[in-house]
């Protein structure tokens, strides 16, 4: 089922997610809805907090358009390692029509549970490393606008307002 994605400045985006105590059929159904919602948006990542659900869950799929799906599910993710620095032009489903260059770690190692509650680790760089950090920030109530200077925050606010006006005209 496709769910509504919260948009900035919705206060629920600032809520810190709580750990999932047990991977149940209800959690698996939520994961399936999250994936369906992310693909429909379309985006390459979605956190449960973006749906107003304060649980430590996110999904990512950074496969290119001509590549098979590579859906990854992260329940109770923990970053074990972060290394290096990279800048990436990021977008966010909660900030429709806006992108900003954000600095993040270049390489990461993350431990989490999959949709079946099985523990796994993944090492990532490039877009996947960016997506993992971006979605994990959502679980901590941190948004991409928080990573910007005061000037860039004001500019992003104007871009958001313009994107909303353009959407209203369509």
**How would you write 30-62 as a 3-class SS string?**
HHHHHHHHHHHCCCCEEEHHHHCCCECEEEECC
How far apart are alpha carbons 164 and 136 in whole angstroms? 26
Q: What pLDDT shows up at residue 159? A: 84
Q: What pLDDT shows up at residue 15? A: 97
Query: In whole numbers, what is the pLDDT of the chain averaged over residues?
Result: 95
Give every residue of the chain whose pLDDT is below 50, as ranges: none
User: Quick check: is 82 in a domain?
Assistant: yes
How many domains, in total, are found in the chain?
1
User: Quick check: is 29 in a domain?
Assistant: yes
- What CATH number is given to the structural domain containing 123? 3.90.45.10
Question: Tokens 């948004």 sit at which residue?
Answer: 143
User: Quick check: is 2 in a domain?
Assistant: no
User: Quick check: is 94 in a domain?
Assistant: yes
Q: What is the dihedral of CA 163, 164, 167, 169, to 10 degrees?
A: -110
Task: Write the pLDDT tens digit of every residue in 127-162.
Answer: 999 999 999 999 999 999 999 888 888 888 888 888
User: Quick check: is 3 in a domain?
Assistant: no
Q: What pLDDT shows up at residue 28? A: 98
Residue from 4, 135, 167, 170 carrying the catalytic annotation: 135
Q: Is 101 a catalytic residue?
A: no
Range of the structural domain that residue 113 is part of: 11-169
User: Quick check: is 4 in a domain?
Assistant: no
User: Quick check: is 6 in a domain?
Assistant: no
């Amino acid at each position: 089922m496709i769910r509504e994605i919260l948009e900035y400045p919705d206060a629920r985006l600032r809520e810190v997610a709580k750990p999932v105590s047990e991977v149940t059929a209800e959690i698996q159904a939520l994961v399936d809805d999250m994936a369906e919602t992310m693909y429909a948006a379309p985006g390459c990542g979605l956190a449960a907090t973006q749906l107003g659900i304060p649980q430590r869950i996110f999904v990512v799929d950074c496969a290119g358009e001509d590549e098979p799906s590579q859906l990854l599910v992260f329940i109770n993710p923990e970053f074990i390692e972060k290394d290096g620095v990279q800048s990436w032009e990021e977008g966010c489903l909660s900030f429709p029509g806006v992108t900003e260059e954000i600095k993040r770690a270049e390489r990461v190692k993350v431990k989490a549970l999959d949709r079946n509650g099985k523990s796994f680790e993944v090492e990532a760089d490039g877009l996947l490393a960016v997506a993992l950090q971006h979605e994990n920030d959502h679980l901590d109530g941190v948004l991409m606008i928080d990573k910007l200077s005061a000037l860039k925050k004001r500019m992003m606010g104007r871009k958001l307002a313009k994107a909303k006006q353009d959407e209203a005209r369509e």
